[in-house]
Amino acid sequence: MAELVYGWVGGTTATAARFTVCTTDASQVRVAVSSTPDMAGAVRSTPQTPDGRGLSKHEVTGLPPSTAQYWAVEVDGAALPGTGRFRTLPVPGTRADFGFCFSGDRVQHSDHVVYDRIRAMDPLQFLFLGDLHYDDVDSADQAAYDLRHRTALSTPRYARLIREVPTVHTWDNHDFTGNGGWSGSPGAQAVRRSLLDHGTFYPLAGEQLHYTWVVGRCRFIMLDTRGGRTRPTDPDGTGKSLLGPAQKQWYLDLLRKASEPVIFVVESFPHRGGTEDRWKGYRTEFDEINAFVNALDVGARMVLLSADMHVVAADDGRNSRIGAMELVAAPLDQTSGGGGSTWQIGPITPAAGTGQFGHVQVTDAGTTITVTFTGYDHNGTVLATLAKEFPVTDQRPTPRTTPRARVEDGWFDAPVLAGTESGAGAELTAARMWTWQGEDWG
């Protein structure tokens, strides 16, 4: 008898949604989508034959923007129990109020009530920011990753969350190939294939797990901080890269061209020094990217989202090297952690057994867009709140021709940007520096 192991809705746009379905004992699988829970007048995907692991991929198009939808999995013409739901996105470039949740870091068999809390908030999307499990597998055997992905995605509460809230996903160290993992790790290609098979993603911008999407007048950029990096033990320098050359070029070009008033940049870990396995080990590239952002004056439009630190922390940009709002929320279901550097709020470390996540409310008033962050625990207790208002003007970045660099407050000279490599023009030779109050590279 056919059963639904899990169904993951994601890749939502104003008119479409993508689905990954895992079933047992099914010969033909399709997805039905309707604007009513009784599935009346449903539109259906093209039937697919599941692979040997029970996996099939589906897409439904032609849906109306900003509308609630329900979806069901049909096997051989009969609907399986477990209806999902989602909401299509607003038309890109139009005013829209919306909310989303984000967090990361969970054990493989996690069935924590925090997933019910997130689902009950009915967010437009849930951004999972890495460490779906902590097994640190590094093997060329894809089956080792298949087992862990299937197990983690089918725990009852998490399976219901990804069925009822469109989920956007990335990996981090523990569910990639472990600490010190890089693009040349034995398991790098196997884990990539397995995750793409089991997950639902927006169209990728390259060989790595980086992509972008737009909600209303806000752009989201998902960075892959694992799959393209060079060997972490190499000496720091211009040839050492955390993002990988292709992704870095794509990211800088995207920042240069982005016209949205608010840009959410999603990284698996905070945009600060941290450990050698984070940006601290790739300082030359970190400085290059920050100098590029400062030269374009785009940092004030950015909101950085991350997990990994196992805390809740928030800053409106006063302690940021690029003047960007930065928000951290974790863990979903892991041990408590700590956080270095200076934050406006936090770091707030959870008690043992506590699940934490962030909710972001975007309010578009026409001439301004307000981003309001609230950090929660699994009981619904508010841990932190922070809001920032972003003006809506002509947001096309214009490179400065008169650089403003300084060395006060312990700063060093800004690195020179190679304009032909960044795509921003040779006039970008230095960058404005902010008073950075909290970063510790030691």
Assign 161 to helix, strand or coil.
Answer: helix
Return all residues near 45 (Cβ < 8 A) that are at least 6 apart. 19, 30, 31, 32, 58, 59, 60
Q: Which of 55, 88, 121 is the last residue of a domain?
A: 88
Give the pLDDT confidence of 194-251 residue by residue, as tens digits: 999 999 999 999 999 999 999 999 999 999 999 999 999 999 999 999 999 999 999 9
User: What distance lies between CA 257 and its chain's CA centroid?
Assistant: 20
Give the pLDDT confidence of 137-165 residue by residue, as tens digits: 999 999 999 999 999 999 999 999 999 99
250 contacts 285 by C-beta, under 8 angstroms: no
The span from the first CA to the last CA of the chain, in angstroms, equals 58
Q: Which of 36, 56, 88 is the last residue of a domain?
A: 88
Domain count, the chain: 2
Round to whole Å and give the CA distance between 318 and 380.
Answer: 28
- The answer to whether residues 213 and 287 belong to one domain is yes
Amino acid, res. 4: L
Q: What is the model's pLDDT at position 107?
A: 92
Round to whole Å and give the CA distance between 231 and 288.
Answer: 19
For residue 423, pLDDT over 50 is answered with no
Q: What is the model's pLDDT at position 273?
A: 73
Q: Which parts of 1-155 fold into alpha helices (H)? A: 114-120, 142-153
Give the pLDDT confidence of 101-142 residue by residue, as tens digits: 999 999 999 999 999 999 999 999 999 999 999 999 999 999
* DSSP structural state of residue 251: H
Can you read off the two tokens belonging to residue 399?
A: 């490179």
* DSSP structural state of residue 253: H
- The answer to whether residues 223 and 315 belong to one domain is yes
For residue 440, pLDDT over 80 is answered with no
Q: What is the model's pLDDT at position 400?
A: 52
Return all residues near 202 (Cβ < 8 A) that are at least 6 apart. 10, 11, 168, 211, 212, 213, 222
For residue 437, pLDDT over 50 is answered with no
- The answer to whether residues 80 and 105 belong to one domain is no
- The answer to whether residues 98 and 246 belong to one domain is yes
- The answer to whether residues 34 and 99 belong to one domain is no
Q: What is the model's pLDDT at position 325?
A: 99
Q: What is the model's pLDDT at position 393?
A: 86
Q: What is the model's pLDDT at position 55?
A: 99
Strand ranges for 123-271 from DSSP E: 125-129, 167-170, 211-215, 218-222, 262-266
Sign of CA dihedral 63, 66, 68, 72: positive
- The answer to whether residues 79 and 97 belong to one domain is no
- The domain of 23 spans 1-88
- The answer to whether residues 202 and 316 belong to one domain is yes
171 contacts 226 by C-beta, under 8 angstroms: yes
CA angle 91/325/221 to nearest 5° reads 45
Can you read off the two tokens belonging to residue 432?
A: 């404005």
Give the pLDDT confidence of 328-366 residue by residue, as tens digits: 999 999 987 776 789 999 999 999 999 999 999 999 999
For residue 415, pLDDT over 50 is answered with no
- DSSP letters along 65-107, please? TT-EEEEEEEETTEEPS--EEEEPPPPTTS---EEEEEE--B-
- The answer to whether residues 42 and 143 belong to one domain is no
For residue 436, pLDDT over 70 is answered with no
- The answer to whether residues 45 and 97 belong to one domain is no
- The answer to whether residues 382 and 237 belong to one domain is yes
Q: Which of 296, 299, 348, 292 is nearest to 319 (CA)?
A: 299
- The answer to whether residues 300 and 360 belong to one domain is yes
Exposure string over 81-104, b if 16+ CB within 10 A, otherwise e: ebbbbbbbbbebeeebebbbbbbb
- The answer to whether residues 146 and 230 belong to one domain is yes
Q: What is the model's pLDDT at position 398?
A: 57
Q: Which of 46, 69, 88 is the last residue of a domain?
A: 88
Q: What is the pTM (predicted TM-score) of this model?
A: 0.91
More confident of the two residues 272 and 24? 24
CATH of the domain at 13: 2.60.40.10
Tokens 């897409």 identify what position? 59
Round to whole Å and give the CA distance between 106 and 332.
Answer: 5
| Helices (runs of H) and strands (runs of E) counted in the chain | 8, 21
Strand ranges for 261-400 from DSSP E: 262-266, 302-306, 312-315, 325-329, 345-348, 356-364, 368-377, 382-391
CATH of the domain at 241: 3.60.21.70
Arithmetic mean of pLDDT, 363-388: 99
